[in-house]
Amino acid sequence: MLRLLAIRNFAVVEALEVEFRPGFTVLTGETGAGKSILLDALSLLLGDRFEARQLRPGADRAEIAAEFDDEAPELRAWLAAQDLADEGPLLLRRVLDAQGRSRAYVNGRPATLAQLADIGERLIDLHGQHAHQSLGRPEAQRQLLDAFGGVEPLAREVAAAWRAWREAIERRDRGGREAAARQAEREALAARDAELAALGATTDEWQALSQAQSRLAHAATLLEAAATAEVELSEGDVALGARLAAVAHRLRQAAQHDPALSDVVQLADEAKIRVDEASRSLRSYRERLDLDPAELARVETRLAVFHDLARKHRVRPEALPALADETARRLAELVADSDAGALERAADQARQSFDALARELSARRKAAAAALGKRVTAMMKELAMAGGRCDIALTALAEPASFGAETVEFRVATHPKQPVGPLARVASGGELSRLALAIQVVLAEVGRVPTLIFDEVDVGIGGAVAATVGRMLHELGLRRQVLCVTHLPQVAACADEHYRVSKIGRGGAVASELDRLSAGARVEELARMLGGHEITAKTRAHAGELLAQQRAATATRRTR
């Protein structure tokens, strides 16, 4: 749920901060006051594209921030997977500058616009005032039905299966077209595979051979160094070991007169022990050191084979084992792609997988279409289209598509004697607006997004129908947080919270302000909405009566 929205230097808003509560909240104000700008800012915060003209004139940057309750486990899990989780409320922030650049943050951590958009889909469902304009598009109608039926994940599976099927067909067809080129590549890879298999190189062999070659090639030098060191450490009276023994003896005699030298004696004894150990290790090393010229020749011959193959195939010698693995993998792919029967079977299997998913999607769409048509028909009666009806037709495609095996078409009749027909051709502009609202309300009832925003979707209606719209939105507010920008007093009177957006002049500039209205101020605002600039005692009385009626109706709905 949206708790707080803060805006600075966005469009006509200089600085604004508003707290939102659960239930149904309306925003009203005169035309041009900036009501929809608040929702535009929220859309930007949730990933919409920013344009420099949206920056307040004279400002270097705009900033939008919001606080949400993120109690949904699904959202918590998503945030944790993105390394954006934090204790407490969810904090979103977006900073925009005059050059059109923007930076986004989630819980204080840098985030991408794609991540903001993903969060937005889980937090807010925005219904714009021109939603009905897209309602005539087949794609939009199909998406609405899938959203109502909860089959969007299945629809994505169908799309993925369709792509896999088409790719299998392309591989099958390409196998025939490119047979000669593939055969040439197979032959070249087979020769390389044979060479690398004959080499039999392992990942560690190159390093082991390199170390062995270095040791064997320098064996004489190593032997001389070890022998000289052993003499210096332990042979003769001037050897280091003998001199350390003499030093330790003299210090031990002196320590009889001053015990403070005992620690130094112990250190000298330890040094003598270490020197003796080093001498014995050198003796053992000399005995093990291999001066075998035949072994050196064998190692260098093996290294030469590595170098020759590495130069031939243009890789480093240590990369030959990885090249062998890649060669075998690609050769296996070419063999599989050259098997016409296998390619045909793969294409058939991919088609069967798609068909199974598409059949399931069709069945679930059919059930959802019947339920959605029934619900929208019921809503149409409440929105002054009594006797009208909505049917959702599913028509099988001659060839399946990425979205499934059928098209979706909303067909309506707006009065009893009218036959159903395509929504875009049958309904007038006002009727389309009401149909869009009916569909949006039905979808909102079954959705899981915690906050619903309606931006003047009530354009073109009034009177009793407007009161019905207000009641619908209020009932939605009993289950979800609902925000609505409206110009209708009948809708505004149904709200639990009422905010007025006003435009004021300040130092030659214009700014929008937002005020939460008290009961008395609500009557004044409703009177303005009813009577325009001429507010009389009669319009105030009408506004007060309208508000009282809606409060009584609201109390009745809350006690059900």
pLDDT tens digit string along 321-335?
888 888 888 888 777
**Tokens read off for 40:** 């535009």
pTM score, whole prediction: 0.61
**Tokens read off for 292:** 């075998």
Burial pattern 360-371, b for ≥16 Cβ within 10 A else e, equals ebbebbeebbeb
Residue 327 covered by a domain = yes
Residue 259 covered by a domain = yes
Q: What is the DSSP letter of 55?
A: B
Q: Where are the alpha helices (DSSP H) in 90-217?
A: 113-123, 138-149, 152-177, 179-199, 205-217
Closest by CA to 48, choosing from 121, 135, 157, is: 121
pLDDT score of 429: 65
Residue with structure tokens 């005539």? 136
Low-confidence ranges of the chain (pLDDT < 50): none
Residue with structure tokens 């062999």? 205
Residue 404 covered by a domain = no
- Helices 293-313 and 320-337 meet at what angle, rounded to 10? 40
Domain with 301 in it = 197-333
Residue 244 covered by a domain = yes
Closest by CA to 159, choosing from 327, 404, 331, is: 404
Residue 3 covered by a domain = no
Cα–Cα distance for residue pair 468/380, rounded to 1 Å = 11
Cα–Cα distance for residue pair 410/405, rounded to 1 Å = 17
Tell me how many domains the chain contains.
Answer: 1
Residue 503 covered by a domain = no
The terminus-to-terminus CA distance of the chain in angstroms comes to 24
Residue 131 covered by a domain = no
Say if CB 194 and CB 328 are below 8 A apart. no
Say if CB 332 and CB 185 are below 8 A apart. no
pLDDT score of 351: 95
531 CB burial (10 A radius; 0-12, 13-18, 19+)? middle
pLDDT score of 307: 82
* Residue 423 three-state SS: helix
Residue 271 covered by a domain = yes
Cα–Cα distance for residue pair 71/279, rounded to 1 Å = 71
For 257, phi then psi, to 5°, come to -95, -20
pLDDT score of 255: 82
